[in-house]
Amino acid sequence: MLKVPQYVDKITPYVTGKPIEELERELGISRSVKLASNENPLGPSPLAIDEIAKHTGTLHRYPDGGAYALRSALAKAHGVDIEEVIVGQGSNELIDIAVRAFQTPGDETIMGSPSFAVYYISSAKAGGVPVQVPLTKDYRLDLKGMAEKITSKTKIICIANPNNPTGTIVTKDELREFFAGLPDNILVIMDEAYYEYAAGETYPDSMEHFREGRDILILRTFSKAYGLAGLRIGYGIANKTITGAMNKIREPFNTSTLAQMAAIAALKDVQHLRRAVEINAQGMAYICKELKALGIDFVPSQTNFVYMDLKKNAMEIYNRLLKLGMIIRPMGLADTTTIRVTIGLPPENEQFIRTLKEVL
């Protein structure tokens, strides 16, 4: 009989947020609310939608495999060379490509715990050894602890900044200190999926470390604040050695025509982005105020989601919320008590608080 290799067999697959259609089909309900995958509740940029409509007539053609127009726009926006930009099917794919390019079987990849599950899966499925370092007491990545785990086998360090699921950041000073002590044969993946929400005084400018000549891969995405999660498009900025290696691993047509075109339009729609960040800040203030009133412990967040400890079995709460048409994310193992909730539009946030009260 065909045998699944052990390193594949032991992988726990990524659990995605439950799609609204699936819940409604299963329960025969309608008007449910999904606050589970950190999507932009405003929807896609209208400019992106128009751009998609304009390009449907060329769908019999393969996309531009080199994504020239999008990479040019991104290179210009970031003041880098086009060869220093790579685009992927979400930043997810770029994590996977980078790991396959730089981690060989038996090598170690260091990450936080809990942090974005894709780092673990990508490392393990390429035959690597994921090294998980617990967060600090205040739910932040422990950069010092991660640096202490570096061995001669370490090839990659994954820094989700802000971290998912906790919504916390490592600061400018902490990151500078980390880079100062870093051996020079390690790739640092700075995963900045929530960059647009996090920008502030103490949030690091990772481009500074790129310009210093570090082996750093900065990842951003159109899935979160830009509202294009369904198109699957993200990008990375890194030196040409890194993008060059990644381009050898990448599928030739890894991003679609519509995704490339919509991303260019979304990048230009500054107004839509600003509205998304504003409505998120208002929703975040509301949710935090209500959680405080309910006496629920939560972690102050620099993203569009909140991590909270309900002190009750999270799977049970999750299932009861589902029955009321509210989709959130229970985090971690079956016995944990924490959930992650995405900030929605005001009525969605109110509905979350109402259903949470009911369930508790």
Ligand X SMILES: *Cc1c(COP(=O)(O)O)cnc(C)c1O
Note the residues at the interface with ligand X (CB under 6 A).
38, 90-92, 116, 160, 164, 191, 193, 221, 223-224, 229, 234
Residue nearest to ligand X (CB): 90
Q: Which CB, 88 or 325, lies closer to ligand X?
A: 88
Distances in whole angstroms, Cα of residue 350 to Cα of each of 59, 290, 314: 41, 9, 20
Strand partners for 188 = 157, 216
Task: State the minimum distance, in angstroms, from the CB of residue 23 to ligand X.
Answer: 20
Q: Which CB, 40 or 257, lies closer to ligand X?
A: 40
- Nearest in space to 217 (alpha carbons), one of 341, 122, 136: 122
Q: Which CB, 122 or 221, lies closer to ligand X?
A: 221
Sheet holding 216-221, edge to edge: 85-88, 234-237, 216-221, 187-191, 154-160, 108-113, 129-134
Task: State the minimum distance, in angstroms, from the CB of residue 331 to ligand X.
Answer: 12
Rounded-to-10 torsion of CA 308, 314, 315, 319 = -70
Task: State the minimum distance, in angstroms, from the CB of residue 160 to ligand X.
Answer: 4
DSSP per residue over 338-360, as a string?
EEEEE---HHHHHHHHHHHHHH-
Give the C-alpha separation, 126 to 103, whole Å. 8
Distances in whole angstroms, Cα of residue 124 to Cα of each of 16, 94, 114, 163, 230: 19, 16, 16, 20, 26
Q: Which CB, 112 or 325, lies closer to ligand X?
A: 112
Q: Which CB, 107 or 191, lies closer to ligand X?
A: 191
Q: Which CB, 123 or 351, lies closer to ligand X?
A: 123
Task: State the minimum distance, in angstroms, from the CB of residue 302 to ligand X.
Answer: 12
Give the C-alpha separation, 300 to 291, whole Å. 11
Task: State the minimum distance, in angstroms, from the CB of residue 7 to ligand X.
Answer: 23
57 contacts 287 by C-beta, under 8 angstroms: no
Q: Which CB, 143 or 193, lies closer to ligand X?
A: 193
Q: Which CB, 130 or 234, lies closer to ligand X?
A: 234
Task: State the minimum distance, in angstroms, from the CB of residue 354 to ligand X.
Answer: 27
The residues, ordered by sequence, that sit 6+ positions from 194 with a Cβ below 8 Å of its Cβ are 38, 162, 164, 167, 224, 225, 302, 303, 304
Task: State the minimum distance, in angstroms, from the CB of residue 332 to ligand X.
Answer: 15
Task: State the minimum distance, in angstroms, from the CB of residue 4 to ligand X.
Answer: 26
